[in-house]
Amino acid sequence: MNRPTGYEPLFTLKPVTTDVWVADGGWIRFYGIPFPTRMTVIRLADGGLWVHSPIADLSGLAEAVANLGHVQHLIAPNWIHYAWIPDWQSRFPEATTWGSPGVVDRAKSRGGNLSIDSILSDLSPPAWADQIEQCLADSGYHREVVFFHRMSRTLILTDLIENFEQDKMPWWVLPLLKLGHVCHPDGRMPRDMAASFRRKGSHLRNLVETMIAWAPERIILAHGRWYDHGGSTELRRAFRDLF
């Protein structure tokens, strides 16, 4: 799609707070529905970079990231966010690639050959345990690792909350987005994903309680408008059916 996403400039690093950046990408399609997408970069205490859900390397994005520091970690945070990982692996061959459970099988089922160095779990690895918390959400269908950068109080989600701004989306997808409960200002977990967690309500509730206890100031989302303040309040709103 050539239509603007509304998050221009695209493929450009945008500072969020100290040592945290986002970059907005162009349109992607999932089951025929166009989505804007977003990646997050964190500079760790040793100067190394942690790159969450990398987007297409266009307009010199990877070079701009490299100018921030040494890329140490590439993150495929859930089972369907991996498309541009191989490109970034080629650009940064010394980086360690981390993937959510299920992501390698998903790529294989789509004819891809995704190489992952380590599978992410419910516990932060020593590489960033003193700076970034993490938890695994696993419904049996959807698997996603959520991250919390302590110093900046930034929570990073991928698809657990989507928050599409209606004036930025093609008109014909709006009924589907409204049906899916993913429209700003009340973006929530997509309806089909929420259904997959019904048999694991206590698991999801515990995860949300953990995220609230982290007291995030902001929440960065992969799709749609992210929250630059009031993170804990937004979590309670988005997951209000659990409480």
What integer pLDDT is reported at residue 124 of this predicted model?
A: 98
How far apart, in whole angstroms, are the C-alpha atoms of residue 51 and residue 177?
Answer: 28
What integer pLDDT is reported at residue 31 of this predicted model?
A: 82
Q: Which residues of the chain have pLDDT under 70?
A: 1
Sheet holding 96-99, edge to edge: 14-17, 20-30, 33-43, 49-52, 71-76, 96-99, 118-119
CA max distance for the chain: 47
**pLDDT tens, position by position, 85-117:** 999 999 999 999 999 999 999 999 999 889 999
What integer pLDDT is reported at residue 1 of this predicted model?
A: 61
What integer pLDDT is reported at residue 92 of this predicted model?
A: 98
**pLDDT tens, position by position, 75-86:** 999 999 999 999
Sketch out the chain's domains with CATH numbers. Answer: 14-242 (3.60.15.10)
